[in-house]
A and B are shown apart, each in its own frame.
Chain A
Amino acid sequence: SQTIHQWPATLVQPVGSPLSLECTVEGTSNPNLYWYRQAAGRGLQLLFYSVGIGQISSEVPQNLSASRPQDRQFILSSKKLLLSDSGFYLCAWSTRVGQPQHFGDGTRLSIL
C-alpha cells in the first residue's frame, strides 16, 4: 500500500533562517506531488505541484520554493523565513492530477 511521510512534525524557526521540509511517498511510481499551506481555521492553499522529477509549478508568488530531486521526494524550501510563513504545511500525492489526493500528517511551522 502507498504511504506518505512528512517531517518534521513541528518546527520552530527564527525569522531570516532557512527552511527545508521533506516529503516522501512509498508504494507508487511517478506520483503527482503537492505542497499546501493551511492557515488556522482556514482551507488549504495550493503552493506547488509537480507531475514529474524536476517539474515544479508554482501557484502563488511567495517566499518559498519547491524541488523534486527524486521521483517520490518533494522538498519545500526557503532561504529566509518571514513571520508570515508560519502555518501548517501539508504534502499530498495523487496518481493523476485532479484524482483524490492523499495527505501526510503535516508540519506545524512557527516563526519567531
Chain B
Amino acid sequence: GESVGLHLPTLSVQEGDNSIINCAYSNSASDYFIWYKQESGKGPQFIIDIRSNMDKRQGQRVTVLLNKTVKHLSLQIAATQPGDSAVYFCAERSNDYKLSFGAGTTVTVRA
C-alpha cells in the first residue's frame, strides 16, 4: 500500500544552525500534510500543516516545503534550539481521509 517515509532516521545539528528534515511520500493523491514533534514520553504535537495546492508555508521559526513533482516534503527549523530536540513525524492524508505517519526522524541539538 501507500506509505510515508523519512530520508534519515537521525539528524544532529549545532545549536543556532538551521535544520532540514525530509520526508518522501508515495501517494500522489494525498492532498494534505502535517508535521508533528514528539518529545520523549509525550504524545506528538502539531507543528505545521500544508495543503497540496501550496508549495510553501511558514510558521514561527518553521517552514514546510512541498514538492509534488517528486513527492517530497521538508520541514525547516531556523536557529535550532535545545528545545527542538525531539522526534519529528510527517503525516499525509490518504484517499480515505485517514492520516498515515512516517517512522520519524530523531533530531539532536548539540550545544
Residue ranges of A at the interface with B (Cβ–Cβ < 8 Å): 6, 41-44, 46, 49, 59, 90, 92, 96-98, 100-106, 108
Contact = CB atoms under 8 A, between A and B. Distances in A.
A103 B43 contact: yes
A96 B46 CA distance: 15
Interface residues of B, number: 20
Interface of B: 4, 32, 34, 36, 41-46, 49, 89, 93, 97-99, 101-104
Most buried by A among B97, B98, B99: B99
* Secondary structure call for the A interface: loop
B89 A43 contact: yes
A44 B89 contact: yes
A46 B63 CA distance: 27
Contacts of A41: 103-104
A1 to B, nearest CB: 13
Contacts of B4: 43
B49 A100 contact: yes
Given A43-B102, A43-B103, A44-B89, A104 B43 contact: yes
